[in-house]
Amino acid sequence: MPGYQIVHPLISLADLRQILRRLARERGFTATVLLTLALCIGANVAIYAVVDAVLVRALPFPEPARLVTTVNAYPGAGVERAGTSLPNYYDRREAIKAFASTAIWQGGNAIIGGTGSPQRVERDRVSPEFFATLGVPLAMGRTFSEEEMFYKDSARMIITDAFWRNRFNADPQVLGKTMLVDSLPVTVVAVLPPGFHYLSSKAQFFVPLASNADNRKPDHRHSNNMSLVARLTPDASIAVAQAQINALNAQQIKDDPYASLLKGARFRTDVFSLHEDHVREIKPILLLLQGGVFFLLLIGGVNLVNLLLIRTSGRAKELAVRQALGAGAGHIAGEVVLETVVLALVGGLLGLGIGAVGVRLLAVLGTDRLPLGADIVFDTRLALISLGASVLLGLLLALPIIWFSLHARLASVLHTESRGGTVSRAAHRVRHGFIIAQVALAFVLLSGAGMLGLSLQRLIATSPGFRPEHVLTGKVALPWKGYPENAPRLAFMERLLTELRGQPGVLAAGLTSGLPMGGNIGNNATAIEGQEPAPGETIRAHYVSSAAGEYWQAMGIPLIEGRYLEDARQPPRPEGLRRGPGLRQPLLAGEERARPAHCQQPEI
């Protein structure tokens, strides 16, 4: 008859109850551990919520890894990023076989509503393939047609689900209805699914990125102020698309009248992952912040190990007696692991609360302005990741305690813990090692924080070149229907300046197309006719912005030489000054305003 062996579990429910009673008795120790864990884990949860939404999570589109974008660059002229031009879109959607679908996008805003109730909202301009390229099906209606990509037929709009509900009261018969956009009637042709938004755009509706035939001809004088979005074919990679675009550029530059200038500017086009390109600027900052709070967690963890070692030293005689009476190493190790995991889990739950508060606080500070910042949420996924990390932390905290508990010699421990005994050398070495590690980590964190503080102090002390104190700014958008030509625009500017100067307390008033550090500026390459660049040199790009009235006086911008412009009616451009080819970048920010479009607004 076969024999049976009763196997006792390493850890039982009775052990758990004993651990909980022990922690309840040691209130000071337990409170210290839980508070340390809650603060360290909470800080990591709050920052990781931002990192997760911006850097970790994939874009909310089907097969997002296949979405790419292209960026023109002229490094020889000092322009590393110049966006994409309209001719690039029409050339590349046909010639680049690695692109299964190609679209173009441009952000902006529009005035909706009639006289007495106008409202300015964000809206985007896109090509017909835009939503198909992203893999987003329309909830109802159709996308734009190729005919609607010309100005004369472009009075169409695709609205978001939120705009449909708020503006049209979720009318199921919304298709075919019209509304005033920039004082012109525009027809609704489709509604997007709930929750859709493109990257960080807050557009409430989309209109065709209209043009005429001349705008589509290959020419580097066109603005690179648009974004090309493409979906790679299943068998293509970014490297394959890059090679095809390089070949297309090399073929087109042969017949370009500005070929020498383009070669001197080292013109190229780069292909990037859409997600990686969108978060490129904020990524180092977020990783630095995550590294900082992770160092905080390391310091807290090392500090807890020291506390646990001291506590274990106090229980060394108890553990030695238990081992002498037959307690197995597995049972003791399991008890240590259970205790540290319980502490880490409870601390993690408290940390989730602190992290949730931290996420809300960060939202108040403006995380929605970050790329993909609107997607920052504290959800179940983040909570599960945080609790899993807490369990892992508990396991890591248990390792040195288990080693210390199982590697002590019984006789030595019994002698050490007796009256008149001293702590063993091994215990001293372990404790001192963790103390040194804690001080070293704290020094690294404090050094980094100090350097960041000094850098911020120097940055604040650096003069921006203007005086922002007591300066109020506003934004004015003029619809093309009421102000189609320069003459009525200039007349409006003069009336506006006259009214502003007459307001009480106004010392100076001016207008500009781009405030300092506001992003709405052009970066145009210029050359002086008759003066060729020296060998090895090329034309350079310079930031350009329009201004009128007492803009410079109002901003406190000092005059080094010459005189200020005196009125809004500026003289024509000198004949000797011309712009270089296509290095102009209202492409980097702003919109091309050479021709009127029903959903296009100049800003002054």
Strands, E assignment, 435-521: 510-512
| Cα 168 to Cα 141: distance, rounded to the nearest angstrom | 15
Choose the final residue of a domain: 408, 435, 459: 459
Are 450 and 309 part of one and the same domain?
A: yes
Residue 498 falls within a domain, yes or no? no
- What tens digit of pLDDT does each residue of 513-571 get? 878 877 666 666 666 667 776 776 777 777 778 888 888 888 888 888 888 776 644 44
Are 408 and 288 part of one and the same domain?
A: yes
- Does pLDDT of 418 surpass 70? no
| Cα 294 to Cα 283: distance, rounded to the nearest angstrom | 16
Are 422 and 402 part of one and the same domain?
A: yes
Question: Residue 129's closest CA among 157, 153, 170, 101?
Answer: 101
The pLDDT confidence band at residue 433, using thresholds 50, 70 and 90, is: confident
Residue 472 falls within a domain, yes or no? no
Question: 67: which 2 tokens?
Answer: 């979405």
DSSP 8-state class, residue 55: I
DSSP character string of 306-348: HHHHHHHHHTHHHHHHHHHTT--HHHHHHHHHHHHHHHHHHHH
DSSP SS3 for 546: coil
**Of 15-19, 427-431, 538-542, 559-563, minimum mean pLDDT range:** 427-431
Are 320 and 231 part of one and the same domain?
A: no
Choose the final residue of a domain: 444, 459, 474: 459
Q: Do 225 and 106 meet the contact criterion of CB atoms below 8 Å apart?
A: yes
Residue 583 falls within a domain, yes or no? no
From residue 9, alpha-carbon distances to 13, 265, 334, 335 in Å are 10, 74, 10, 11
CA dihedral angle for residue 428, residue 429, residue 435, residue 436, rounded to 10 degrees: 150
Residues 151-164, buried b or exposed e (16+ Cβ, 10 A)?
A: beebbbbbbbeebb
* pLDDT at residue 215, rounded to an integer: 79
Are 52 and 103 part of one and the same domain?
A: no
Residue 375 falls within a domain, yes or no? yes
Are 328 and 450 part of one and the same domain?
A: yes
Are 45 and 91 part of one and the same domain?
A: no
Are 240 and 352 part of one and the same domain?
A: no
- What tens digit of pLDDT does each residue of 28-62 get? 888 999 999 999 999 999 999 999 999 999 999 99
Choose the final residue of a domain: 240, 275, 310: 275
Are 316 and 395 part of one and the same domain?
A: yes
Which residues is 312 bridged to in the sheet?
none
Are 300 and 271 part of one and the same domain?
A: no
The whole-model pTM stands at: 0.79
Residue type, position 299, single letter: I
Are 158 and 238 part of one and the same domain?
A: yes
Give the chain's domain count: 2
Domain extent for 214: 64-275
Residue range 8-28: mean pLDDT, rounded: 76
Q: Do 160 and 203 meet the contact criterion of CB atoms below 8 Å apart?
A: yes
Are 372 and 413 part of one and the same domain?
A: yes
| Cα 514 to Cα 466: distance, rounded to the nearest angstrom | 14
475: left (phi over 0), alpha (psi -120 to 50) or beta: beta
